[in-house]
Structure 1
């Protein structure tokens, strides 16, 4: 298993690096965007953040609703990458999905730190990062699979020997596994993140 994983990473290292750099670019862009927000926008976002944290702290958020939302988001995100991989023009759009994921993460963490200082750092490490430690690598794998399949469609010849159906089924199967991983990150977000938020708000 470890050898297969190491071989997979080695064979696709260049593609993973491209995906990582666009994700990193998204994080930087999301962080920089904070400095261009108008004062009224900052006030509104801060009020929304305070309300959200209060709900977490008072256990007003339904775990079931969060899980349902997390699974729905996983299906949408990975489903979109899967669909884009089926098109010959999907590669730049898959990169956009990765970039936006980085943008959202950079903006979220940056805003938390900007507004809550030490508490923001603690919330980022204990509540924001745990689910993303599962979801981000899963998204990288999904992006790699989508780009690889789309590239194969453009070249055409790589699918001519055994036919496209077996490769399509293989592609879809691995995308399903990735979706389950992202949904697993959603479970962490639903059941562990609220606990970590309450710990930070009440004991730090």
Structure 2
């Protein structure tokens, strides 16, 4: 079974390597845009955000993190990503740029967060994003890209067959396959949610003294 899954993944990437490159490019564009936007912040926004983060660092290690709130927010973010990718894949070629936009936005958020933390807090910012973001994003970023590729491929499939008279059973089968794959990928995103909820806060608390 393990070899079967491995061969399926290799075949999937081999068949869709062009789409993966495009999605990766969109993600990098988002990261770059997020990083550059840090410098475009006005002084008031910058000061307010710095004060908020400094206050968070001060209470680190003394006040337990609200894991319930973290779980809900992470689940909402990942759920929105999966749902929008699935929906955009259903609207044929029109959905393709929207799918890429999702990846750009995800890259933007990461680029802005990392860029701001490192610029304003130096090693403390780098340590914080490494502890709080890296563990879950190791899983969520590749899964989000795979979801974007699957949705894009299904969207292109619908476009190519828009004028073909296909059996309803065949259409239903392709739709079910597409939906199941997205659900499986969302299941993998749930692992990232659990990491973000329990492991990342534990790591941040463990190194709380270095962050103050």
Q: Same fold (TM over 0.5)?
A: yes
Aligned length: 204
* Contact 2:60 2:208 (C-alpha < 8 Å) held by counterparts: no
CA distance in 1 between partners of 2:17 and 2:140 (Å): 19
- The residue correspondences of 1:13-92 to structure 2 (distance < 5 A) are 13-54=17-58, 56-88=60-92, 89-92=94-97
TM-align CA RMSD: 1.8
SS of residue paired to 1:14: helix
Determine which of 80, 87, 93 is the counterpart of 2:98.
93
Q: CA deviation at 1:192?
A: 1.2
* Contact 1:53 1:197 (C-alpha < 8 Å) held by counterparts: no
Q: CA deviation at 1:56?
A: 4.8
Relative to the length of structure 2, the TM-score reads: 0.89
Q: CA deviation at 1:55?
A: 5.2
Relative to the length of structure 1, the TM-score reads: 0.92
Q: CA deviation at 1:31?
A: 0.3
Q: CA separation of 1:179/1:59 partners in 2, compared to 1, >3 Å: closer, same or farther?
A: farther
Gaps of 5+ in 1: none
